[in-house]
Structure 1
C-alpha cells in the first residue's frame, strides 16, 4: 500500500534535508539509496522522534539501538492490583516474577555502538542528529554486505542478505520476513512528511526481484516453527507456556479449552509488555504466573507463540474476555519515555491479527480489536486496578490501515454518531508522568483525545466514578480520554466542540472543521427502555442463575458502579449470550461452558467497553 502521510512538528533537521542526508550517506558507503530509504521506513517511517528512544532503546530514522537498560524493567503484569486471570471463582494469583535470569543485552539492541565504531561518529551525535543516524545505518548495511562477501553493488536486488542481517534477527525466517517487507516498500514506493516536517520520497520499483538466495549466506539458524498457528507472512516460533500443577490445589498459567468448537473467539487484545523481550519470554515460561497467546518483538517483528488459540490464556484481567479472546503482547513500554513502536512490529502484528480475525470471525473494529486499556473491570472492586497499555502512543489509525480497515467517515455531516479520528502526528495532548510523576512527557503524536465537562479547556475533566480519583493528565489516567476508532453517540455541538455520551455524562472535546478529531459515523445504539430511569452496566456477560448445571457454582451477575441513564445513547459493538467458562481445576474433566438465555449488548461506554442486558434496553439505528 502507499506510504502513509504525517503532519509536521516544529522540529527541523538542521544539517541537511532528510532526503539529501539519505543521498549523501548512500553515496559515501555505496549503498543503493532505495535500500537505505526502505530500511529506514521499516524501522521508523523516516521519523526522528526528536532524538527520543523507541521502546527498545532505538534512536533516529535508522532505529540504531542502545538499550542497555531496557531489560531491567518489570513487565506490566507484575504492576498494580489486576489479577490477570480475572475470575473471582478462583483466588487471585499475583506472584512477583523473577527476572534475575534475563539475558545480557543482545546484539540487536546495541547497533548504535557498532555504528559509532564504523563511522567514528560519537554515540550522542548518532542519537540526536538524523543525518548522522542515517550515516550510521548506511555503514551498518555496508558492513553486513562486505561480511557476507558480496560486492557493494549499485543494484538494490543484490542487498537482500545485508538487509536480512540488518534486522538483527537471530533466525532465518525472521530475517527473511524483515527483508521481504523492506523490498515490498521499495516496490511500492511513496512519500511522506515526517515528524520533523521533512518531505521524503522513494521512487517505486515494482519489478524489483531481490536475490533471496543470499539468505543462505547469512548463517542464521532455522526457527522452531513447528506447532505454531501463524500466517506464512510472519516469522513465528513456538515457545510454550507451561501447563503445570504445583502445590496441592493450584496450577498455572492458562487453561486448556476447545475453542472455537466449545465457545467462540470474539476479541483480540493488544498489550505492550512494559519489559524487554528476554525478560518477557522468561516470564511466560513461569508456570506460576500469567500467559498470553503471542509475543511480538519490536526490532524485527518476530513472533513467538506460547498458548494455542483453542486454550484460554490469563492476560486481560477479565475472565469473560480471557475466555473469548486471543492476547498479543508487543515488546515495548507505554511511556519510556517517548514510547514509539517500530514499523516492523506494527506490520507483523497486523498480518497476524488479520490472519486470526479471518480464521475465527473476529470483526476488525475497535470493539473487537481491543487494547488492554479497553477491557472492563469484571467487578466494581477491580475497576481501579485494570491496566492501561498499550497507552496513548499506540498508533491505532496506522494499525487499522495495515489491517486493511482504515478509520474513516461512514456517516453524513452532523450525523448522530462519531468515530474518533485525530491526525496522529498533529494531535499532541499534554501527558505527564512518563519519566517522573507530574512531569510533562515529551511532545508526541497520540491516538487519544481529552474530554471536558464543558466546551472549554479550562473546565474540569470528565470523572470516572469507578476509579474514585480526581481526573488528570497522567499518561495512565484514562478517565477522560477517547481513542482513535472508538465510536460514540453525539450529545451536543457548540462551535468547534462536540459532546458525546460517555460514562453516563455529557463529555466535550474540541473538533474544529479545519482539523477534526472525529468523523461522522453510522451504527446501532442502545438506550434504556421506556419507563426506566437508568439501567445497570456490567463488566462481563455472565448467564442467569438458572443456566448453571449441578456442580458449577453460580457466578454473580454483578453490575459495575455505573448506570446508563434514560435519554443517553451508546454505540453497540455486538450482541452476545450470557456465557461462563468454568475452569478452576487442573484436570479438565470438570471444565464446562455455561450458556444462558439472557443476552447482552457490548457497548462503548467510556474508554473501556461494557455490557448491558438486552432486556433492559431499546435498540435503534442512528
Structure 2
C-alpha cells in the first residue's frame, strides 16, 4: 500500500532541512578527483553538494564499478539506468535442474516463468543525456559525466520546495518507497561517511548533525512482518489447490512453535521486480518469503514467516529458513545498490532478533551455500547471489562485522578479503568462457597446491568425472566465501591451506594483505577409531521416529567424506527433523523429530551435516 509523501505535516521540518543543507559543508578536505567531480557538478547545477553525495552513496557508495551495470541496469556513481545496454534475462528458478521445493516425498517442481518485464524507470540515462546534450555511452562509462548527469536530474526534479522531494523522485519510486529512499539519503547526510572507492579514490561526506529530517507516520500494512524505517507491502503468495491433487505455492506451518527457524537464505531474483512479483502470485510457480527492490529498497512480503516457502532446493533447509529474494542478477549485473543492501540488512536483523538466529555466516547464508540433498541433486543446486555480493559490507550493516576475533596463529580462520581489491578472474558472466569484467568479489579461490599455477580443487559432486573445478562464475567447487570459517590444515610461507571437501585448499594469504583472519570457535573432527565420517545434505531423523502413515525419508550421504585428522568449523548441533507436508490440508502435516543429532559444518562452499555421534567437537583458538 502506497501513500503520497506527506507535505503539510512536514513543512516546519522541511524548512529546517533546507537551512541545514545550506549550512553543512559537504567535506572538510576535498581531495581526489571523484570528490572534485561531485563539487563541480553540484556547483554547475545548483544542487547542494551533500545532497549529491548522499544520493550517490545510497546508489553506489560512490563507486564507478568499471562501467558495469548494477543488478538493476544502473551505471556509474549516480546509478543512471540503461536497460537497452544491460539487457533482460529470465528468473533463476527456471534454470538448471534444481527443484526449489527439494522434497523427495513429492514430484519435483520445475516451473517456467513468462517473459521478464522490466519497469520503464530503468532508462534514466536517456533523460540525463538529453539534459547534458551528450550520449548514453559517455554517461555509462565516464564517472565525472555520470555525476553531472545525476546532478542535472536532481536539479530538474527540484521544484523549489525542498530537496527532499527531488531526492525521493530520483529513486524512481513513488509514495512510501520514495520516502524511505529519501530518509536514508538524509540520514546519511546527517551522520556523514567516508570511504575509498573501488578505483582507489577517497571521498568524504561530512556530518550535518543539526540537519532535521521530516518524520513520517508508520504506514506499512497491518500484519506485514517488517522492521521500522523501511517500506514494506503485502503481495501474498497463493495457497491454492490445483488439479491432480497438487497445490501451490508454499506450505502452511506453525513456526517457530512447530520447528525452529535456523537460517535466513539470501537469493537474487535473476529477473526484474514486476515480473518477479507476478511469479510470487502464481499458484503453479514456487515461493519465497520476501522480495527487495533494487532502486529504493522496497520490501514485499509474500509468505508469512510461520509458513514454509519453496525456495532453496533443499526441503530440510526450506522447512527451517526464511528466503529473501533481491532484485538482480548474480553475474550479468555485477553490483547491488546500497539502498537494497540497507533494507535487506534491516529486514535480516529484525528476523534474526525475532527468531534468535545468530548473525554469522553459518546461519545467514546464500542460496549458493545450501547443500544438495543427495548426490544426484548437487550439480543442479543454484549459486546466487554470486561472488559479487558484498558479505563483509552486509555484515557491517547488520552490526556484526566479520573477522578479527582470533589470535595470530589460530587453527581457525574467517575468510575476509578486501572486497574492492580481491578480483578473481572469473569467466562466463556474459557468455561461456568469456572473461568477466574485473570486479571486486567476496570469493577466495582455492588451489590444490600453494601456487597460482596449480589446478583448482576437485568437487566430485559437481564434476563427477573427477576433473578440477573451473573459474566459471557459477562453479563453486573450489571457492571460499567471505565470512565463512574454516580449519587451518597447513601454512607454508605466504600460503594457507584449509580443510575443504576432504582436501587441502590453498590460498595466497601474505602478511600485510591477509584474505583470512584468525578466528575463535569450534571444529568437528572424526571420533578416534573412525577413518572416515559420512557427510549429509540434510539432518533427517532415524527411521524409527516416523509415525504410521508418514513415509520414511532416506538418510543418504553425499559423495564426500570427512577423514580422520581433518577438521571443519561447526555451526552448532541440531536435532533431526522432517516436515511431512504433502497434502493441501495442513491438518495432515506432521513434524517428525528424531533422537539423532547432527552437527552443521562448513564443509566446502556449501554447508553440510554430520551425525553428532560420529564426531568430536573441540575448541579452536
TM range (shorter): over 0.9
Counterparts of 1:169 and 1:48, CA distance in 2? 23
Q: Secondary structure at 2:207's aligned position in 1?
A: coil
Equivalent residue, structure 2, for 1:133: 146
Paired residues for 1:170-249 under 5 Å: 170=174, 172-211=175-214, 225-249=221-245
Report how far residue 71 of structure 1 moved.
Answer: 7.5
Q: Is the 8 A contact 1:318 1:377 kept in 2?
A: yes
Q: Is the 8 A contact 1:582 1:592 kept in 2?
A: yes
Equivalent residue, structure 2, for 1:584: 582
Q: Structure 1 runs of 4+ off > 6 angstroms?
A: none
Segments of structure 2 that go 5 or more residues without pairing to the other structure are 1-31
Report how far residue 69 of structure 1 moved.
Answer: 6.9
TM-score (norm 1): 0.92
Q: Which moved more, 1:192-201 or 1:44-53?
A: 192-201
Equivalent residue, structure 1, for 2:390: 395
Counterparts of 1:388 and 1:71, CA distance in 2? 21
Q: Does the alignment pair 1:344 with 2:339?
A: yes
Report how far residue 105 of structure 1 moved.
Answer: 3.1
Counterparts of 1:412 and 1:135, CA distance in 2? 47
Aligned match of 2:91 in 75, 88, 92? 75
Report how far residue 212 of structure 1 moved.
Answer: 5.5
1:104 and 1:486, CA in 2 relative to 1: closer, same or farther beyond 3 A?
A: closer
Paired residues for 1:254-265 under 5 Å: 254-265=250-261
Equivalent residue, structure 1, for 2:402: 407
1:70 and 1:582, CA in 2 relative to 1: closer, same or farther beyond 3 A?
A: farther
Q: Is the 8 A contact 1:71 1:277 kept in 2?
A: no
Q: Which moved more, 1:65-74 or 1:598-607?
A: 65-74
Counterparts of 2:322 and 2:87, CA distance in 1? 25
Counterparts of 2:549 and 2:605, CA distance in 1? 37
What per-residue deviation string (whole Å, max 9, x for no partner) do you get for residues 488-528 of structure 1?
Answer: 11100000000111101111111001100100011111111
Counterparts of 1:491 and 1:437, CA distance in 2? 34
- Alpha-carbon RMSD: 1.5
Counterparts of 2:198 and 2:259, CA distance in 1? 44
Equivalent residue, structure 1, for 2:7: none
What per-residue deviation string (whole Å, max 9, x for no partner) do you get for residues 334-369 of structure 1?
Answer: 1115x1000000000000000000000110000100
Counterparts of 2:215 and 2:258, CA distance in 1? 43
Q: Is the 8 A contact 2:369 2:607 kept in 1?
A: yes
Q: Is the 8 A contact 2:118 2:275 kept in 1?
A: no
Q: Is the 8 A contact 2:425 2:436 kept in 1?
A: yes
Report how far residue 313 of structure 1 moved.
Answer: 0.1
Counterparts of 1:565 and 1:409, CA distance in 2? 29
Report how far residue 129 of structure 1 moved.
Answer: 1.2
Report how far residue 21 of structure 1 moved.
Answer: 1.2
What per-residue deviation string (whole Å, max 9, x for no partner) do you get for residues 255-299 of structure 1?
Answer: 000001111100000001111111111111111111000001111
Paired residues for 1:316-465 under 5 Å: 316-337=312-333, 339-465=334-460
Equivalent residue, structure 1, for 2:481: 483
Q: Is the 8 A contact 2:237 2:281 kept in 1?
A: yes
Q: Secondary structure at 1:414's aligned position in 2?
A: coil
Q: Is the 8 A contact 2:373 2:536 kept in 1?
A: yes
Q: Does the alignment pair 1:25 with 2:29?
A: no
Aligned match of 1:561 in 559, 564, 578? 559
Q: Does the alignment pair 1:496 with 2:494?
A: yes
Counterparts of 1:487 and 1:452, CA distance in 2? 17
Q: Does the alignment pair 1:124 with 2:122?
A: no
Segments of structure 1 that go 5 or more residues without pairing to the other structure are 1-15, 151-157, 216-221
Counterparts of 1:105 and 1:607, CA distance in 2? 34
Q: Is the 8 A contact 2:69 2:86 kept in 1?
A: no
What per-residue deviation string (whole Å, max 9, x for no partner) do you get for residues 76-96 of structure 1?
Answer: 000000000000100001121
Equivalent residue, structure 1, for 2:21: none
Q: Is the 8 A contact 1:70 1:276 kept in 2?
A: no
What per-residue deviation string (whole Å, max 9, x for no partner) do you get for residues 85-127 of structure 1?
Answer: 000100001121223xx546322x1111111222222212111
Report how far residue 145 of structure 1 moved.
Answer: 1.2
